[in-house]
Amino acid sequence: MEKINFASKFEQFDELWSPRVIAQMNNYEFKLVKIKDEFVWHSHDHTDEVFVVLKGIINIEFEDRTVELNQGEMLVVPRGEKHKPFAREEAQILLVEPMGVVNTGQVESHLTAKNSQWI
């Protein structure tokens, strides 16, 4: 049980769209991610997904609207909801999701990241 400093964790990696696990609670992982530009359309059929913006501005595009999230804001994307995150400038976010969730859902892409990469 030690405190976790987000800034020092973000300093440990440069890759975009490559979540890094910083903590586990029950069957959930807390993941830090740097994002910029477009991601892929995807959904998670068996779980909700939480996006918390720690630095910058991100957008999450849905089939019927786009939600802008500023630093200090969060959004829960319901399971099965098709979405596509993007950021015009580099942003830093915290994801909260069950262990084993693939970042691109069922979509195989060059942006599909390895699971459970700890920092």
Taking residues 13-29, report their average pLDDT.
Answer: 97
H-state helical runs in the chain: 6-10
Taking residues 3-7, report their average pLDDT.
Answer: 98
Predicted local distance difference test score (pLDDT) of residue 114: 85
pLDDT tens per residue, range 54-100: 999 999 999 999 999 999 999 999 999 999 999 999 999 999 999 99
Q: What is the distance between the alpha carbons of residues 1 and 88, in angstroms, rounded to a whole number?
A: 36
Q: What is the pTM of this model?
A: 0.94
Taking residues 42-52, report their average pLDDT.
Answer: 96
Which domains can be identified in the chain, with CATH numbers?
Answer: 18-98 (2.60.120.10)
Rounded to 10 degrees, the C-alpha dihedral 13/18/21/27 comes to: 180
